[in-house]
Amino acid sequence: MIISLIAYGFITLLMVLLGRNLAIRERITLNTGGKVRFLNAEMVLILLLFSVFSGIRYGVGTDYFSYLFHYNRYAESGIQPGWFGNGEYLFEYLTSFFATINLPASFFFGTIAFIQIICVYYLLRKHQYLYIFIPFILFWNHFYLDWMNGIRQCIAVCIFTASIGYAIERKYLKYAIAIGVCTLFHKSALPLLAVILLPDRDLFKNRLITTGIVLAALAIGQTSFIGDYFDQILGTAQLFGYERYEYRLTEITAGNVEALAFGPRNIAFLLNYLMIIYFSVEMKKFHRNDKLFTWSYNLTIINAILFFLSMNISHIFIRLAMYFENFNLITSAFLLHYLWYSYRHTPRKSYYLTMFSLFAFINMIYLVVATYFAPHQLSYDVLFNH
């Protein structure tokens, strides 16, 4: 556990320090009327560090060993993995490319990680001050494990994250093409075509009502209410790439699956959402004309609603919520930045420092708890040792 926390702490520190350099350069460039560039030495280092760290990992992620086994078998004997033939052609091509030239699995996993991280950082290229906070939340909250778990879907998740720039600018064709690319990694991305139709404004203006909606979703998710309507969505599940999970729907409607516990992990998730909602009024004033913040906040609340409604059904039904979770990552970074800025530039220093520390602690709970109670998922080791 200690070695894993040191490993995650070290990669976090390196990426934070590089992000700090980028944030300083962004501020200086904007103050002098220059143009902020995305690719530079620090960004290349960030992308390489994350890709190598994730590429050489061993055992991180529930699905890791399945992907490792199928990749190695394909590279050695030509037996295609089970995910071939599902219409997810880009992931098939990615697998075939590395396996055919018999590269070690670390190159395969590293390339996947590269796609994931560059998509998120590219979306934030005009908000480089967030690069200071993104690595901390990414590694110490649940996001990194999610990326390393559902590998195929999380590639689609990160491409969708980058595509929100097209939704903000109302570039319908480019957005549709981006979602098309997502479906070639995971078919479940198809419903995301509708996201661009969301109104380009604050959808959750009232803090109290928003809190009520999220808590109502949590309460409903703790009952059998959603499960009672599963028979009506079996066809929809098939249509959007969930046909392999239809048997789970049948199990649940038959009452054969117990609800998941609402433990420390989900309490931390709830506290994270509630703090974002609590400071939303102040952050909206702070980012008054920032459309990326508005969209990130809207999609974060949608993520919260979908997650809590489906959390006690089965993990497979959290898949739709997963497409929006990177915006929780981004909005959390917005909040940490706002609290730190307020601590440094307002008279209420002790209050904002306390809130900053509290929110940072909430975002640390997941990694600390998970490495202790589920070391088989998060304990960091390198592939070369095995």
Structure confidence by residue, pLDDT tens digits, 32-82:
988 999 999 999 999 999 999 999 998 887 788 889 999 999 888 888 887
Looking at residue 258, what is its pLDDT?
Answer: 39
Predicted structure pTM score: 0.90
SS3 57: strand
Looking at residue 231, what is its pLDDT?
Answer: 46
The residues that bridge with 207 in the sheet, in sequence order, are: none
Looking at residue 3, what is its pLDDT?
Answer: 82
**Average pLDDT of the segment spanning 117-138:** 97
pLDDT > 90 in the chain, percent: 65
How many angstroms separate the Cα of 80 from the Cα of each of 86, 95, 96, 246?
Answer: 12, 9, 9, 24
Give the residue, 236 or 59, on which the prediction is more confident.
59
**Average pLDDT of the segment spanning 101-126:** 96
CA distance 323 to 310: 14
pLDDT > 70 in the chain, percent: 85
**Average pLDDT of the segment spanning 350-373:** 85
Work out the number of other CB atoms within 10 angstroms of the CB of residue 285: 9
Mean pLDDT (the chain, rounded): 87
**Average pLDDT of the segment spanning 13-25:** 96
Looking at residue 81, what is its pLDDT?
Answer: 81
Query: What would the DSSP string read from start to end of 238-297?
Result: HHTT-GGGHHHHHHHHTT-SPPPP--HHHHHHHHHHHHHHHTHHHHHHHTTT-HHHHHHH
Contact 335, 311 (CB under 8 A): no
Out of 130-139, 249-258, 293-302, 351-360, pick the least confident. Answer: 249-258
Work out the number of other CB atoms within 10 angstroms of the CB of residue 360: 17
CA distance 46 to 138: 13
CA distance 331 to 211: 16
* Strand blocks (E) in the chain: none
Angle of helix 207-221 versus helix 264-278 axis, rounded to 10:
160
Residues with Cβ within 8 Å of 322's Cβ and at least 6 positions away in sequence, in order, are 146, 150, 153, 154, 157
Angle of helix 325-345 versus helix 151-168 axis, rounded to 10:
60
Give the residue, 120 or 59, on which the prediction is more confident.
120
**Average pLDDT of the segment spanning 76-91:** 83
Looking at residue 247, what is its pLDDT?
Answer: 37
Looking at residue 55, what is its pLDDT?
Answer: 95
Looking at residue 372, what is its pLDDT?
Answer: 66
CA distance 331 to 272: 10
Give the residue, 55 or 265, on which the prediction is more confident.
55
Out of 16-20, 32-36, 281-285, 301-305, pick the least confident. Answer: 32-36
Looking at residue 232, what is its pLDDT?
Answer: 54
Out of 49-53, 173-177, 251-255, pick the least confident. Answer: 251-255
